[in-house]
Structure 1
Amino acid sequence: MYGLFVMMAILLWSSISKTFFTPSLWTLELAQFAMVTYYVLGGPYSLQAGAHVRMDLFYANWSLRKKASIDALTVFLLIFYLGVLLYGSLASTAFSLGYFDDHPLLFYRDLIVAFVTGGPDAAGEVMGHLERSRTAFRAYMWPIKVIMTFGFFLMLLQAISELIKDIARISGEEI
């Protein structure tokens, strides 16, 4: 919820600076980063709270067992989709940290091993040229990509939790 206030403050400053001062170069890109953070980290919370929108045209009249069956199917598809997103975000984050090969998971293994055995300096040697945005602000991309990866991971964990709950409801357990 507070992420919206951060984004509104950034956009308010953007409007003020464009009207009265020299326009700020960082405001639009930082507002986009704030919105991505709000959206990606808000998804797992919404799933946990049961706040996602459903089509109640048919769903409301179904029995609890049928609802759980349909939910289990859709959550299973969601888990597959989130797995693809997580792998893609891991690859994109590795790219933003300077890794340009085809095996991003090996990069993270090498990065962790270098950090544990040699500290931050050794980990810095594993990383390459850090990716920056192509805007005038030239922000580093790795922070937002790490946030996206973390959000996809949290969403995947919550989806697995929902699948387990749905399977329990199908088998008649009270949750």
Structure 2
Amino acid sequence: MTLLLKLSQLIDWLNERVGKGAFWLVLLMTVISAGNATVRFIFNYSSNGLLEIQWYLFAAVFILCSPYTLQKNEHVRIDVVSGKLSPRSQAVIDIIGTLFFLLPMVIAVLWLSLPLVADSIKINEMSANAGGLIRWPVKILLPIGFTLLALQGISELIKRVAFLAGLIADPNSKAAGPTPEEELAAAIAAAKAKEAK
């Protein structure tokens, strides 16, 4: 089990690096979007390539950050139900969900996306829009992102089994301290208090 926990830590490390790296794509997407809007407003000119790169970047952020979201336990849950269960029951539900829902879905998407990506690369598929971009770079995100999601699912499965075996602490527990929303509210309150002085 120690070897599996080391594998889990390696997967967590990889997905954390990829997820945090993908955060920078949000900034790039925002700059491109603002630049495109400014050029369209001032010069009455727009580019399909600039519009497409925005949704390429959005797709990259969404797909590449999904494993990181799963790792940090920030994915969608039915907290009304799971919040009332014991940590052990939550771990069992996570194991069942990973084995029977997450991993089969990820494998199906990978299986179905690989031929599409291979064909897109083979023909150097281009956008149908004038001035559009090549399509394979955004399509290749599917197998990359879903492979990372499968790996994270395996990591979460290892952690849940280790928790049930009493080898690690509850992987569902949230770190003590304020949530990002609470931090933002405190920062806004501090800024208002500073302005009032």
* Structure-2-length-normalised TM-score: 0.68
* Contact 1:64 1:169 survives alignment (8 Å): no
Amino acid at match of 2:31: A
**What 5-or-longer segments of structure 2 have no aligned partner?**
1-22, 170-197
Cα distance in structure 1, aligned partners of 2:125 and 2:113: 14
Question: Aligned to 2:79, which of 53, 56, 63?
Answer: 56
4+ residue runs over 6 A deviation: none
Match of residue 141 from structure 2:
147
TM-score scaled by structure 1? 0.76
Corresponding letter in the other structure for 1:85? V
Q: Compute the displacement of 1:91 (Å).
A: 1.4
What CA distance in whole angstroms lies between the structure 1 residues aligned with 2:40 and 2:132? 19
One-letter code aligned to 1:8: T
Identical-pair percentage: 31
Total equivalences in the alignment: 145
Q: Equivalent of 1:138, from 132, 136, 141?
A: 132
Q: Name the amino acid aligned to 2:105.
A: Y
**In the alignment, what sits opposite 2:106?**
82
Paired letter, 2:167: E
Q: Quick one: which of 52, 61, 64 aligns to 1:41?
A: 64
Q: Deviations over 1:98-150 (max 9, x none)?
A: 2xxxxxxxxxxxxxxxxxxxxxxxxxxxxxx2111111123111111222221
Greater shift after overlay, 2-11 or 66-75?
2-11
- Tell me whether 1:158 sits opposite 2:152 in the alignment: yes
In 2, Cα distance between the equivalents of 1:170 and 1:91? 39
What residue ranges of structure 1 are gaps of 5+ in the alignment?
A: 99-128
| SS state at 1:97 partner | helix
What's the Cα RMSD here? 1.5
